[in-house]
Homo-oligomer: A and B are copies of this chain.
Amino acid sequence: MKEYLKHDEWCIIEEGFNPENHKSSESIFSLGNGKMGHRANFEETYSGPTLQGSYVAGIYYPDKTRVGWWKNGYPEYFAKVLNSPNWIGIDVQIDGHYLDLYTCQTENFTRTLNMQEGYIQRSFIAILDAGKKIKVDVKRFISMADTENGAIRYSVTPINFEGKIAFTPYLDGDVVNEDSNYDEKFWNILEMEAHPGEAYLLSETKKLGFRAGFGMKIKAQLEGADVNITPEVMKKEGWVGNRIEKEIKEGECFTLDKIVGVTSSLNYDKTALLAATKKVTASGFAKGFDALFADHVKEWYKKWTHSDIKISGDIAAQQGIRFNIFHLHQTYTGEDERLNVGPKGFTGEKYGGSTYWDTEAYCIPFFISTAPSDVTRNLLIYRYKQLDKAIENAEKLGFKDGAALYPMVTMNGEECHNEWEITFEEIHRNGAIAFAIHNYIRHTNDNAYLAEYGLEVLVAISRFWAQRVNYSEARKQYVMLGVTGPNEYENNINNNWYTNKMAKWCLTYTAEAIEHVKQSNPEAFNTISKKINLDDTVEVAKWNDIASNMYFPHNDELNVFMQQDGFMDKDQTLVADLDPAQRPINQYWSWDRILRSCYIKQADTLQGIYVFEDEYDTETIKRNFDFYEPRTVHESSLSPCVHSILAAKIGKTEKAYEMYLRTSRLDIDDYNHEAHEGLHITSMAGTWMSIVEGFGGKRVYDGKLYLNPVIPAEWKEYAFRLTFLNNDLEVIVSSKQVEVVSHATDVIELSVYNELVKIEPGKSSIVKVK
């Protein structure tokens, strides 16, 4: 853990500059608006350790893959989240010397991420070589309103001298990915233009031909008043910019506004991209820094209105949840069905590819309750559109007859991952994708979705499961061999309880979905049946047979479900008895030692109990929680939230709180020593879940909303917003009462502590805490 950031309700604040924390801060202070984003790299030269990262949504690179030993079925490429041309750059020279925070002294350094209004700000005094001091203030945002614009205001004030200050704002297309497999560059520069006061750069990826356009226009001010300096035009290899210089008196504030336009060939015809870039840059510039900022802030206030969670009495917890919600909004806005929620969003390169099962298992529960239903619908359609590729993927692995295996990691539907134990074996992802369809429908009643899109996906997934199991003559049951469960600290195991559970559920649910569409929309059903060659009698009978005769490992003595066959053969020393110096084990233990151990990376059997909680009584959940949690090292960001939810459910509120802090402050406090690589975006949705589903006890079964709130001892009160069946609710929980405020237009019915509550539009209802 690393705790160098101040606790604050709405801001992340770093005081004093320490280069050792800089790469972590670059991640934590990242900005984005769903269309683009970047790490909090400095505008000016920085010669210290840094991970430069600027990203344009949907643009990726199919890097040549790198494996130790090729295995049949491996994908040819590993998609890389692509570091794109740097548009923030502004070199600063004072009397000819470059400002560089790695080499100069600083005083009063403060870096702030304002999450309420969505910007970063730095201010500091730099002490230069000859004892010259300058005050520097920088503010930067990527607009949530004008989504192709970003803006920077950079001010320098000489404190104890008069001298020449020069700004060199630029666009740099000569960028690299640190994780390039063969140290190759991924971009070609197509065009560069620079004129006094503006510059443009058009880049194209060397493969797939994605294009991105970058424009900048600049303006200088002295003491807040426009000042006319004709910029010098500059060009280097892959780099265009301007340079302005002026003699500045002691105490005078010299400011540069750099307004940027960023466009992508996802949104424009390729040939029109440069023109579009110029247009969007000009419109942003015409609006100006202050007006752009005002509109941007308005959008943020809207977002917070519908998704904020307020916690009183616990600033660390409050800061944590807002940090998570803030970054989720920055990563994905739900408007473009071609996009998805990358595990690191716009904050780092790691985990090439944008789409994991995280989307369905973690992000959809967040969006389905905080955003209009079409956001989730778009995420589901994303998978629907990639169904053909999932079928192709399954064919490559030897499956047939329209069986689909969705990829573990993908950009365009093709598998990108290349570890056999994940790529070929971590197949439970298929289950999450099916379950998300069910989850969407139960939150929206959009049953029509089944006929239009969902059923094809469900059938293809069920066909996969039906082929992936085999009948064990020895057990006289269906088994599923050679899988990796959510707990990736086990590979190639047999009968992972969670995966078997998911498979069984898929088969049953698909059979129900077929029946539903058949009844409700026979015409659509016939069309689908023909399209996908569905023999609903034979196939469904087979699925039912498998579902009824699926084998589930169980330990009768302990009366708990077994994560997999043979789990009890392992040494059962608990996590609490491990040497703390050996933690996290993934940084200290060899892979075989991890695999042989009983230690669990993230919820696995408990993930299944979380998903299918309604099937189990509290005692069963408790027994399994008490068995598995003490064996869990939580070395995946996706782990603590699920444990927090279950702990809250079974009355272990203290444990739930511990897990909540761990998930919500995972990156701020850098629990797993990896914040410098980027943030754990998808698990941030899990943080939201741990409050709303955990402490709030929100559930949806059979078209009905349930709340069973508890409150951690550390909190005075907490409040969250919730959308259910298009109704907007606000839930305020204190240690004494639960108040539900309706912002809906109809009368709302829900269950609080299993009591029916009806609320008129605009009214609220109060229930005592149980």
> Which residues on A are within 8 Å of B, measured CB to CB?
65-69, 71-73, 78, 182, 396-398, 418-421, 424-425, 470-475, 479, 481-482, 491-494, 565-566, 568-572, 586-593, 595-596
Contact = CB atoms under 8 A, between A and B. Distances in A.
A572 B473 contact: yes
Contacts of A592: 73, 397, 420, 424-425, 482
A768 B609 CA distance: 72
Contacts of A67: 66-68
B568 A492 contact: no
Nearest to A493: B492
Contacts of A418: 68-69
Given A419-B68, A482-B596, A565-B565, A470 B570 contact: yes
Given A73-B590, A481-B566, 18 more contacts: A67-B67, A68-B78, A72-B586, A72-B587, A398-B589, A420-B592, A424-B591, A424-B592, A470-B571, A470-B596, A473-B568, A474-B568, A481-B569, A482-B592, A491-B491, A494-B566, A565-B565, A565-B566
Nearest to A557: B474
8 contacts: A66-B66, A396-B590, A398-B590, A420-B591, A421-B492, A472-B568, A472-B569, A475-B569
Contacts of A472: 568-570
A568 B476 CA distance: 11
Contacts of A397: 590, 592-593
A566 B569 CA distance: 13
Given A566-B565, A588-B72, A481 B182 contact: no
Nearest to A182: B182
Nearest to A78: B68
A493 B492 CA distance: 8
Contacts of A586: 72
Contacts of A595: 481-482, 492
A481 B471 CA distance: 25
Given A568-B473, A569-B472, A590-B396, A481 B596 contact: yes
A356 to B, nearest CB: 14
Nearest to A479: B569
A672 to B, nearest CB: 15
A223 B67 CA distance: 56
B591 A73 contact: yes
Nearest to A475: B569
A57 to B, nearest CB: 25
Given A66-B66, A66-B68, A494-B566, A398 B473 contact: no
Which residue, A69, A73, A396, A588, has most C-beta atoms of chain B within 10 A?
A: A69
A407 to B, nearest CB: 14
A589 B396 CA distance: 9
**For the complex, would chain A's binding face be called helix, strand, loop or mixed by DSSP majority?**
loop
> 6 smallest A-B Cβ distances: which pairs?
A73-B590, A424-B592, A474-B568, A71-B591, A397-B590, A472-B569
Nearest to A594: B72
Contacts of A566: 481, 494, 565-566
Which residue, A71, A418, A425, A471, has most C-beta atoms of chain B within 10 A?
A: A71
Nearest to A494: B566
Given A73-B590, A592-B397, A481 B68 contact: no
Contacts of A565: 565-566
B591 A72 contact: yes
Contacts of A78: 68
A491 to B, nearest CB: 6
A654 to B, nearest CB: 30
A144 B493 CA distance: 52
Contacts of A493: 492
A490 to B, nearest CB: 9
A481 B72 contact: no
A418 B592 CA distance: 13
A589 B424 CA distance: 12
A565 to B, nearest CB: 6
A494 B569 contact: yes
Which residue, A418, A470, A569, A586, has most C-beta atoms of chain B within 10 A?
A: A569
Which residue, A73, A491, A566, A586, has most C-beta atoms of chain B within 10 A?
A: A566
Nearest to A397: B590
A569 B68 contact: no
Contacts of A591: 71-73, 420, 424
A507 B252 CA distance: 82
A436 to B, nearest CB: 24
Contacts of A479: 569
Contacts of A590: 71-73, 396-398, 424
A421 B589 CA distance: 15
Contacts of A588: 72
Nearest to A471: B571
Nearest to A69: B419
B593 A398 contact: yes
A662 to B, nearest CB: 23
Contacts of A65: 68
A596 B586 CA distance: 27
A553 to B, nearest CB: 11
Contacts of A473: 568, 572
A11 to B, nearest CB: 36
A712 to B, nearest CB: 36
A649 to B, nearest CB: 29
A520 to B, nearest CB: 38
Contacts of A596: 470, 481-482
Nearest to A590: B73
Nearest to A66: B66
A69 B595 CA distance: 16
Contacts of A570: 470, 472, 481
A78 B586 CA distance: 23
A69 B418 CA distance: 8
Contact of A72 (B475, B571, B589): B589
Contacts of A425: 592
A586 B593 CA distance: 28
A591 B72 CA distance: 6
A67 B70 CA distance: 10
A352 to B, nearest CB: 11
Nearest to A572: B473
A473 B69 CA distance: 37
A589 B72 CA distance: 6
